[in-house]
Amino acid sequence: MKNMNFLINKSIFFIFSKITTFFCWAEKKKLNEQVIKYVENSKIINHPIDTSITNFYFISNEINKLVNIRNKLLVCDKQSRKRITEKCFNLYCFLITSAKLKKKKNNFFKRKILEYVEETIARSIEKIKIEDIDKKLIPYSIYIRSEKSLGSLVADLNIACSSYLNKINSVRIRHLIIDKDEINIDEEWKKKHECFFNKKKLKIPISKHNYEYILNGLHKSSLRKQVLYLLNIPFENKNLNKDVINILKKRYDIATKMGYKNWAHYSISHFTSEKNNYDKVNDFLALVKMKIDKEYDTVKCSMEKTINLEKSTNMQVNIDDKKDSCVKLAIYDWNYYYNKILNKSDEYLINTYFPHAHVLKNFLIIVSKIYNFAYEEVKQEAGQERWGKNSHIYKIKKKRNEKIMNSNIMNGKNLLDNTRREQDKSGSNLLGYIYIMPYKDISFMDYFRIPLIDSLPNTCLICAGHVLIDYRFLSSVPIEKKLFSCSEILTLFHEFGHAYHLLFLSTKYNMYRMSNMPLDYAELFSHINEHVANNYNIMYNLSNNINDNSKINEYLFKTMKFDYSRLANIFSQSMLDYAIHNLDPYEFFDGHQGMVSCAEVVIRSIRGTRGKNCNSHGDSDKYGMHTYHENSYDHSLDKFYSTVEKYFPYSFSSHYSIHSTSFPYHFSCCYAGSVLSYLFAEMRVLLNFSTDNLSLKKNSSLVSFQRKFYEIIEDDLRFDANPSIITHALANKKMLLRKAAH
């Protein structure tokens, strides 16, 4: 069966390679060949490129030629074999990028050809041993295919993940319909969400992007509970819980077959820099939890005072009256009171200080000063943008700062001198080009879907010196009225951290050497950049109010800067991913299905029961929502929820579901089980960086930051020699617990 599939893929590859060669005119073919030569040798193309140069079929054909050449070389010619293998890997990474850039065109045929290319390279590696190249540098998909016993298991896993993701993306958006006076929120925002036939009511779409914002404006606990219900109900009755368990079992089988305890053990070992510290992970998580609990003690006291004050003044108590002081608040009530005690400003008011045109114009000015690089925008004619409408292309050059350079030379490093870096005509060091695509294309049907997986931003290295940032922000109509939210501003900095890091590394290393970069190392630089954004001086320079051109003041900034919840949120997402992959799914779930223990009956009674007192066809309440019968709800993940709930400051409530969070995105990726990398990166920043005093006006603060940043890049944390953040944190427990949250 496997050989038959390979022959089918080979036939598809052969047909398309011939068609591509036949219909490719001479000039286009010459351009493609030039690009191939640059990419396979990891050299920088010193001019802007576009999607037209990334011809998927042409690249796959060139890889096949190189594999055939490698197979014919003598076994003793190790140097030539190694060089050709590296070229194959470089082109394979370029091929993956090409597939992503044009994923809507001939998707089926591309997938089959990609399978053929991976299988061909894997067979070549098996046929002529791989001693000429480090095994850990083999791209992940090829490494898996080279392991014969894992090929079919991984293929089944990928199909299951794809099916799960398709279900997630097929959900239809739900709306909360309420009176205008039932929510305390900006009046201009209310006008945008008025019901078409009844202007006294609001029709508010509920998704993971806005539900916390809505919760914070609703005074009644019952309404907040309805928001959580609307957020999660689209994901019920799709067998998603069973899909998750099925995927977990497949992953467990693969991990144990490879000699690991479970998928978390395998994933942490393969995708993070902490591969030798799996046994210390629980101690590390306990330490982080201790830090979070210590910081949340103040929050809990303030919450209790606020609730008691409401009771003493005969106000309506805005929490579920079933709760008592011994039971944690439900997630929807906890969010409301947390926002209230921190005196957060209305987010829409903050958004008015960040109109899209001003932010995009000034963002590069600000980050170029922070990281000490020069840039110029490559002009594109309106309507002929190379990377789509509203896209921007920037040429990035490295400045020479004597203070930074002299410091690093004294330390035995010369960060700004690299023999592989191309020189432009002015003689300055060319780092390359960054392509920014701010907005995603929206179709008519997108207005009826919940934007979840498809709307997540991403950054990819196209080839050496060329990085694409696809922010995928949701555009407004008209685009001139687009305002950036706090989370979108943070995303601007996060993805640029990835882009600049990739740009810098691509001038130093072969492209394939970056494909297996530890995730916590990759995330470190995006987290550094997020902390850069958590600075009043930076946000002051980025802001410009749409009404009066004023700058954001320090009071408003304090309501949007990082608080205790940042580390807690990163911890909770990491904990969910780690906990669900660190168990034996056969033992944990199979014994649970079909029976409910006494303990679980108590848990359900505390958390609440879905569809209580409803008929089998479902009832509608006054908010226009259907409530389903208890028997229609899948309880198969309840045991897991009750297990991990202790790590959260709130209770999940009866309407909580992991499917409405960012969980599906991470869970469906190959690096599922290593989301801890985000926590590793954040802890490394907290223990090594401080951006509080960073100022665009104080050159000394910029130089100090730049020295630290470029030293970390030069230290190259990609390999085994890097210092373990788990070991460092456990050795500096007292310092970590003393360190205050930003």
Sequence-distant (6+) residues with CB within 8 A of 601 are: none
End-to-end CA distance of the chain: 57
Report yes or no: 551 and 537 within 8 Å, Cβ to Cβ: no
pLDDT recorded at residue 597: 39
pLDDT recorded at residue 525: 93
pLDDT recorded at residue 452: 47
pLDDT recorded at residue 180: 93
Q: In terms of C-beta density within 10 A (0-12 exposed, 13-18 middle, 19 or more buried), how is residue 660 classed?
A: buried
Query: Tell me: the pLDDT tens digits for 445-465?
Result: 665 555 544 567 899 999 999
pTM of the model: 0.87
Query: Tell me: the pLDDT tens digits for 528-578?
Result: 999 999 999 999 999 999 888 899 999 889 888 888 889 999 999 999 999
Helix (H) or strand (E) segment spanning residue 409: helix 402-410
pLDDT recorded at residue 82: 84
- Residues 176 and 193: their CA atoms lie apart, in Å, by 10
pLDDT recorded at residue 602: 35
pLDDT recorded at residue 403: 56
Please give the structure tokens belonging to residue 79. Answer: 């140097």
Q: For 274, which DSSP code?
A: -
Please give the structure tokens belonging to residue 734. Answer: 């007292």
572 closest CA partner among 453, 452, 678 = 678
CA distances from 395 to 259, 373, 375, 458 (A): 47, 10, 5, 20
Sequence-distant (6+) residues with CB within 8 A of 619 are: 626, 627
In the chain, the largest separation of any two C-alpha atoms, in whole Å, equals: 88
pLDDT recorded at residue 420: 44
pLDDT recorded at residue 202: 94
Name the β-bridge partners of 255: none
Sequence-distant (6+) residues with CB within 8 A of 636 are: 241, 242, 245, 589, 592, 593
SS3 call for 378: strand
Segments in the chain below pLDDT 50: 322-323, 405-406, 408-427, 452-453, 592-631, 742
The length of the chain, given as a count of residues: 742
pLDDT recorded at residue 374: 94
CA angle 96, 100, 102 (to 5 degrees): 120
DSSP readout, 276-297?
T-GGGHHHHHHHHHHHHHHHHH
Sequence-distant (6+) residues with CB within 8 A of 292 are: 564, 567, 568, 571
pLDDT recorded at residue 477: 63
Domains recognised in the chain with CATH numbers: 2-146 (no CATH), 350-562+689-738 (1.10.1370.40), 595-635 (no CATH)
pLDDT recorded at residue 721: 58
pLDDT recorded at residue 632: 52
- Residues 43 and 463: their CA atoms lie apart, in Å, by 8
